[in-house]
Amino acid sequence: MGRNRFSNIYLMLVFLILYAPILYLVYYSFNSGGNMHEFEGFTLDWYKEVFADTRLLIIVLNTLVVALLSAAISTILGVLGALAIQQVRRRQPKNVLLTLNNVLIVSPDVIVGASFLILFTIIGIKLGFVSVLLSHIAFSVPIVVIMVLPKLEEMSTNLVDAALDLGASRLDVLTKVVLPYIKSGIFAGFFMALTYSLDDFAVTFFVTGNGFSTLSVEIYSRARQGVSLTINALSTLLFLFTALLVFGYYFLNRRKALAVGMEVKQ
Amino acid sequence: MKGLVRAFALIFIVAFGLMYLTSYLNSEQGYSGGNTLTIYNWGDYVDPELLEKFEEETGTKVIYQTFDSNEAMMTKIEQGGTTYDISVPSEYAIAKMKQEGLLLPIDSSKLSNLKHIDPRYMDLPFDPGNQYSIPYFWGTVGIVYNSELLGGKKLTSWADLWDPSLKNQILLADGAREVMGMGLNSLGYSLNDTEEAHLQEAKRHLGELTPNIKAIVGDEIKMLLAGEEAAVGLVWSGDASEIMGENEKLDYVVPTEGSNLWFDNMVIPKTARNIEGAHAFINFMLDPENAAQNAEYVGYSTPNASALKLLPEEISGDERFYPGPELTEKLEVYENLGKRMLAHYNELFLEFKMHSK
């Protein structure tokens, strides 16, 4: 009992430390004083300013478009990649492929960003929406592979054999057996890619240009002048938005899990 | 499978919907037409109202993009995948960009307002004859201090910093030339001194300052000084005016021994598309009224003599930001000392940093 209480306190402490900076930021986004030193009074001015600043809104929309598109495309590519890797039966080449995939995940963003800048320069792609989208897809694909592969591995090969025995074509097996089975992995991969894209700074910093910018890069260049509370307000909105997404995803999953559980009972 | 297809179809529809919304907002702002001007400038370094005025006057739409360091800006321009029409680098960056062929020459016959610029700020060593750059703002390096924390004491010179009463009170901006320059200036040498004996002496002299130094920091120096974490800071005048806006207990002084004079100039990068528009914009910013409005908004010192006359007395008469002729005499612009000498400066600064704690 005593140990239990201790671990609860510890857990609460950890969460407090995790959320304190965000709460601090949210708190001051309502400060009429205009700085982060002392709280003068409650105001919604900073939120009004966010919505009045069209340039900032365009940048927010850009960020969301890049995140959604890159996450969706890299999920498709990543799933295909995971299927291909799973097909490799021999141990050694498979390990080599997996390691190569993981190297991309652990390599520093700065290196990835600089490499992309050099690559785009050589092949003559103009910096802007396309360059940002391509690089985001590139660093998201390995993440999706990593999220999907365990699901594939966990699937019993008997399922596929049974389907084939019953006369299913290869395509049927893929669309009616394999993909539904790994669905949760696919969505997990999609959401990981989405968040990676949303908060990436280092890679994006190198490949933005020509009037196209994302939020992380914009906030960075504004921070030089001292972060305005508009940024606090915007961050609060984004935090709420992502929190809603996560909770929404959680509740959908739970409802489905309950539904599945009921079916089993019947 | 059906669910997956539906989910992904939905994601793509939402993404394209947002994309349409963006392009709608963009065209609402008038950004989609061919007649645009892309400005690549420091964050918050121009009055947004002036950009609107320029758009109204010329019908050219302005895209304003920001960078946070000369180095980042140079990399983007060097890469060539960008189409910036105007940029505003600092003087040493201009010299470097010129050397690397990143700039287009400026046709001064198109700049009818060039006559308003104070001749003192023209034809400087980093760009003789102003072939590639036109002055935008200038400033100094100096000391910001909080006299309340210092018990009402006033600082006027570099030598004051060595006072033992300032123990653990000084923040330095992390720049080799700024700090070494302070060492050299405090001994009466030039900022651009290359004599080994003088440099070593400056380093030793800086070494004696170490008990007073609290930290050597980057851009966060503004936050720390405004938050009264330390009483004294070595900063650029632009930063100083910003911090003083946040905390009125602070004061700025250009040391009497002399200091650095820096410039941010407008240039046309080699990647520019709208060269005609770029000239029009430079000329627009040189207009005394516009220059004055901009100087008032940004808070840095304007090189525009006619604009200075239009500024309220409390700004133009502020000796801290527009030092009198006697002090101006002592201010020096950084010369390009060459790669080897710069490396030596950096090395000495590094040694000083290592021994300071």
Polymer length in residues for chain A = 266
User: How many CB atoms lie under 10 A from the CB of residue B210?
Assistant: 13
Is B92 annotated to bind a ligand? Reply is: yes
Report chain A residues whose CB lies below 8 A from the CB of B4: 179-180, 183, 186
Residue A6 shares a structural domain with residue A98: no
| Domain annotation covers residue A261 | no
CB contact under 8 A, B25 and A64: no
Say if residue A1's pLDDT is above 70: no
Q: What is the pTM of this model?
A: 0.68
Q: Does residue A173 fall inside a structural domain?
A: yes
Interface test with B, best of A31, A51, A68, A198 (most B CBs within 10 A): A68
Domain hosting residue A11, numbered range: 1-43
CA-based nearest distance B83→chain A, Å? 6
pLDDT at A139: 92
Clarify whether residues A77 and A161 are in a common domain: yes
A32 with A67, same domain?
no
Q: Are A225 and B246 within 8 A, CB to CB?
A: no
Kindly state whether residue A260 falls inside one of the protein's structural domains.
Answer: no
- Same domain? For A131 and A238 the reply is yes
pLDDT > 80? residue A260: no
- A130 and A215: one domain? yes
pLDDT digits (tens, 9 = 90+) for A37-89: 677 788 888 888 888 877 788 888 889 999 999 999 999 999 999 999 988 88
Q: Which of A72, A125, A190 sits opposite B12 (nearest CB)?
A: A72
Separation CA B305–CA A113 (nearest Å): 44
Count residue pairs from A and B with Cβ separation < 8 A: 104
Domain count, chain A: 2
d(CA B122, CA B128): 8
Contacts of residue A176 in chain B, CB cutoff 8 Å? 1
In a domain, A65, yes or no: yes
Q: State the Cα–Cα distance between residues A131 and A174, nearest whole angstrom.
A: 32
Write the DSSP assignment of B88-126 as a string of letters. --BHHHHHHHHHTT-EEPP-GGG-GGGGGB-GGGSS-TT
**A75 to chain B, closest Cα gap in Å:** 10
Does some domain include residue A259? no
> A216 and A139 share a domain?
yes
Residue A90 and residue A205 in one domain: yes
At A266 the pLDDT is 41
pLDDT values of chain B reduced to their tens digit, one per residue, 357 residues: 777 888 888 888 888 898 888 888 877 665 555 678 888 888 778 888 899 899 888 888 888 887 777 877 887 888 776 788 999 998 888 988 998 899 999 998 999 999 999 888 888 888 888 999 999 999 889 999 988 888 888 888 898 989 888 888 899 888 888 889 999 999 988 888 888 899 999 999 998 888 888 888 877 788 888 888 888 999 888 888 888 888 888 899 999 888 988 889 999 998 888 889 999 999 999 999 999 999 888 888 899 999 988 988 888 888 888 888 888 888 888 877 777 888 888 889 888 888 765
pLDDT at B91: 86
| DSSP state letters, B167-212 | TT-EEEES-HHHHHHHHHHHTT--TT---HHHHHHHHHHHHHHGGG
- Both tokens of residue B167? 């123990």
Q: Which is nearest to B332 in space by CA: B127, B144, B87, B124? A: B124
Separation in Å, CA of A11 to nearest CA in chain B: 33
Q: Residues A190-246: pLDDT tens digits? A: 988 998 898 888 898 888 877 788 888 888 777 655 567 888 888 888 888 888 877
Q: Does the beta carbon of B23 lie under 8 angstroms from any beta carbon of chain A? A: no
DSSP symbol at B232: E
Per the domain annotation, does A265 fall within a domain?
no
Shared domain check, A35 and A10: yes
Supply the CATH number for residue A183's domain. Answer: 1.10.3720.10
A111-154 tens-digit pLDDT: 999 899 889 888 888 888 899 999 999 999 999 999 999 999 88
> Has residue A158 been placed in a domain?
yes
Q: Are residues A79 and A169 both part of a single domain?
A: yes
- pLDDT above 50 for A183: yes
Q: Provide the pLDDT for residue A265.
A: 45
Residue A264 scores a pLDDT above 70: no
Residues of A with CB below 8 A from B81's CB? 120-121, 124-128, 131, 209-210
Is A162 a domain residue? Answer: yes
ipTM for this prediction:
0.75
pLDDT of A223: 65
Inter-chain contact A71–B11, Cβ cutoff 8 Å?
A: yes
Report all structural domains of chain B as residue ranges with CATH numbers, in order of start. 31-133+267-316 (3.40.190.10), 139-261+324-356 (3.40.190.10)
CA closest to B222 among chain A residues: A226
Pair A204, A181 in one domain:
yes
Q: How far apart are CA B281 and CA B264, in angstroms?
A: 16
pLDDT at residue A263 tops 60: no
The one-letter code for the residue type at A4 is: N
Asked whether residue A143 falls in the same domain as residue A166, the answer is: yes
Same domain flag for A77 and A206: yes
Q: Which residues of B touch A171 (CB under 8 A)?
A: none
Q: Are B15 and A54 an interchain contact pair (Cβ–Cβ within 8 Å)?
A: no
Q: Does A35 sit within 8 Å of B63, measured CB to CB? A: no
Do strands B61-67 and B170-173 pair parallel, antiparallel, or not at all (unpaired)? unpaired
